[in-house]
Amino acid sequence: MTLDLRRLGHFVAVAEAGSFTAAATTLHITQQALSQSVQLLEKELGAELFTRSGRRITPTAAGAQLLIEGRVLLAAADTVANRVSRTAEDSPEVFVVGHTPALSSAEVYTRLEPAIDSFTHLSVTCRQMYPGELLREILDGTVHLGLRRGIAPTAELSSATIGYDRVRVAVPREHRLADATVIDIRELAGEQIALWAPPGASYYSDFLMGACRRAGFEPDFVVSRVQGSATVAAPLTTGAPAFVTTQAGPAMGGRVRVIELEPDLLVGVQALWQRHTRSAFRDSVLAAR
């Protein structure tokens, strides 16, 4: 079976618009031509893709599955076409790595360093972005590899766990726990915990809140009003303890102390990339885990 990418694009446009009329306007083709294209795709696949009720259409179960897979396939095809064009034009390749604020630029570089040393001809750009933006830009091919804290499955992207980091606690120098050598997580009961995104909006925040609940208390939290800075800086703007992966000791010019946490808590680093694509540099990053 050969899947026609043009017809697949027509189907995705109709499914996203919820209307043949609206999709035809967006695609700059007639509604009749669009309807015929989708009908031919249904014939190719041997599956009804839409349930039609008057002017209203909704994807069938098969259509919903095709919408998920079709977006991925179209994005991959676009990525392949762009890479071939750059190769034909002898344009220098730039590999873009996106990462969430929970990973510092130094931590990202450490994960990438073995691959960077192996691919000396390749330019690498690292960009910090919020989780939702990261997923969108991986899917559309703008970002070639994404890194985030927390391990969670995703239907549209490929993923792998590439390592774990030890979680510690950062507190302002004047905090009651600042002189401790080790902090039991239960000592944080009653404290506000500094986060970079509210629970439900970040897998990392959910992971940290879950660790507190397993320790026997319901955590209070405050979201840092300064976004994009080093995570260890959060205690300065919130006055609250923050979970960090920074090494223990003084930080931020001595205004923050990072203290070991017990019991041991490890958080994973998840790599995400566009399905149906290949990259030797990415394979090297994954192999280094």
- Domain termination residue (choose one: 32, 53, 76): 76
> Pairing relation of β-strands 192-195 and 220-223?
parallel
pTM: 0.77
Per the structure, the count of domains in the chain is: 3
Q: Is 279 among the domain residues?
A: yes
Q: Is 47 among the domain residues?
A: yes
For residue 146, the model assigns a pLDDT of 97
- Domain termination residue (choose one: 76, 106, 133): 76
Q: Are residues 157 and 280 in the same domain?
A: yes
Q: Are residues 193 and 256 in the same domain?
A: yes
Q: Are residues 168 and 256 in the same domain?
A: yes
What residues have CB less than 8 Å from 221, skipping those under 6 apart? 192, 193, 194, 195, 198, 199, 205, 209
Task: Give the residue numbers spanning the domain of 44.
Answer: 5-76
Q: Are residues 169 and 247 in the same domain?
A: yes
For residue 1, the model assigns a pLDDT of 63
Identify the CATH number of the domain in which residue 66 sits.
Answer: 1.10.10.10
For residue 154, the model assigns a pLDDT of 79
Contact 139, 78 (CB under 8 A): no
- Domain termination residue (choose one: 13, 43, 76): 76
For residue 43, the model assigns a pLDDT of 92
CA–CA distance, 200 with 14 (Å, rounded to integer): 30
For residue 108, the model assigns a pLDDT of 95
Q: Are residues 186 and 95 in the same domain?
A: no
CA–CA distance, 78 with 140 (Å, rounded to integer): 8
Q: Are residues 157 and 178 in the same domain?
A: no
Q: Is 251 among the domain residues?
A: yes
CA–CA distance, 124 with 160 (Å, rounded to integer): 20
CA–CA distance, 119 with 190 (Å, rounded to integer): 49
Q: Are residues 140 and 274 in the same domain?
A: yes
Q: Are residues 192 and 120 in the same domain?
A: no
Q: Is 148 among the domain residues?
A: yes
Q: Is 19 among the domain residues?
A: yes
25: which 2 tokens? Answer: 């306007």
Q: Are residues 222 and 249 in the same domain?
A: yes
Q: Is 119 among the domain residues?
A: yes
- Tokens 């302002």 sit on residue: 172
Q: Are residues 33 and 126 in the same domain?
A: no
What residues have CB less than 8 Å from 249, skipping those under 6 apart? 257, 258
Q: Is 82 among the domain residues?
A: no
Q: Are residues 111 and 187 in the same domain?
A: no
Question: Residues 150-205: pLDDT tens digits?
Answer: 777 777 899 999 999 999 999 999 999 999 999 999 999 999 999 988 888 888 89
Print pLDDT tens along the chain (289 aa): 678 999 999 999 999 999 999 999 999 999 999 999 999 999 999 999 999 877 789 999 999 999 988 988 888 888 888 778 877 877 777 899 999 988 989 999 999 999 999 999 999 999 999 888 999 999 888 999 999 997 777 778 999 999 999 999 999 999 999 999 999 999 999 999 999 888 888 888 999 999 999 999 999 999 988 877 888 999 999 999 999 999 999 999 999 999 999 999 999 999 999 988 889 999 999 998 7
Q: Are residues 68 and 154 in the same domain?
A: no
Identify the CATH number of the domain in which residue 155 sits.
Answer: 3.40.190.10
Contact 143, 137 (CB under 8 A): yes
Q: Is 106 among the domain residues?
A: yes
Selection from 164, 162, 216, 151 nearest residue 187 by Cα: 216
How many CA atoms within 13 Å lie on the side-chain side of 90? Answer: 0
